[in-house]
Amino acid sequence: MKKKYQNAFFIFGIALLVLMVTQLDFKQVTEGLQRAGYWFVAVIILWFFLYIFNTAAWYVIIRNNGDNSGKVGFWWLYKITVSGFALNYATPGGLMGGEPYRIMSLAPRIGTEKASSSVILYAMTHIFSHFWFWLLSVVLYIVTQHVTTVMAIMLTAITAFCSLAIWFFLKGYKKGIATRCMNLLSHFPMVKRWAQGFFETHKEQLATIDSQIAALHRQNPKAFFGAVALELTCRIVSAMEIWFILLVIMPEASYIDSILILAFTSLFANMLFFMPLQLGGREGGFLMSAKGLTMTVSAGIFVALLVRIRELIWTAIGMLLIKIGKK
């Protein structure tokens, strides 16, 4: 990646990070960290390993997507993965910063078209795994919790939504999804003109990317589903973060409850994808999840606070990694 683009991503990310930090109540943060103690250190370390799952999923796709894949080292890709997620966390829309950064970093090593197709495929696996995680969490809730009438209606709606999304992604994986996504965006008023112009200008490149995505399905579908399995495992293991935090205030907290809290919190937060760092959405999700599992409101606030601090710390690490290491 050219140095001027690298600097632009770095400055943009740092500016957003500073904005996010200014929204914190520092007295509340200090009290929360003192209360959590070594459990918060465990949470920070946990995410070092969770990003390995994310990197491995992307690495599997790249290794099955061309002859130049040998130029991509795992730990270099780990750095790009962490920085990409940091930009995603900080920007409204979630995919506005991280994906362009990943493509521009990877392009000099494997070419722009293959870099684009691998990033799109990885984004598909990441999102695809969320839908499977939410669907499996519905089953887990039914098995372990008392289901009220209101909850039954909500779980039915979630099941229908996730099933439809899974169908859409499977169709997109088999036939390519880049062109489909641009056609879909062309129907939204706020981005309609941009999407139509982009499609007309980059029609051939989008078709090439779609053909590469479809080719991977024909040649090695196990690569895609292997990447999805890694991402889904990451979702399940990441619930340990909530479990560690809950153990501080609720020694009787269970890992199953933590999975359910993560599932419903992430679902609610992703409905507010346009917010930087999903401000408000994640906190609201924690409070709703805690109430649904008969936990106290204070427990939900405590978990939400420490998760927010962890996100800011790893976002800062990701921003620094943009400027560190081999280009």
* 271 against 266, higher pLDDT: 266
* 251 against 23, higher pLDDT: 251
* CA 133 to centroid of chain Cα atoms: 12
pLDDT classification of 123: cutoffs 50, 70, 90: confident
Q: Is the pLDDT of residue 274 over 50?
A: no
User: In the chain, what percentage of residues exceed pLDDT 70?
Assistant: 72
- Domain-wise residue ranges, the chain: 3-323
Of 42-56, 121-135, 238-252, which one has max mean pLDDT? 42-56
* CA 272 to centroid of chain Cα atoms: 14
* 182 against 33, higher pLDDT: 33
pLDDT at 306: 87
pLDDT classification of 24: cutoffs 50, 70, 90: low
Gap between the Cα atoms of 20 and 63, Å rounded = 36
Gap between the Cα atoms of 132 and 123, Å rounded = 14
Q: For the chain, first and last CA: distance in Å? A: 7
Q: Which amino acid is at 292?
A: G
The whole-model pTM stands at: 0.81
Query: Helix 297-323 crosses helix 74-90 at what angle (to 10 degrees)?
Result: 130
pLDDT at 276: 47
Gap between the Cα atoms of 261 and 244, Å rounded = 13
pLDDT, one tens digit per residue, over 169-220 is: 777 666 666 677 777 767 766 556 766 777 777 777 777 777 767 766 666 7
CA nearest neighbour of 9 among 279, 312, 320, 326: 320
Alpha-carbon dihedral of residues 222, 57, 131, 210, nearest 10 degrees? -70
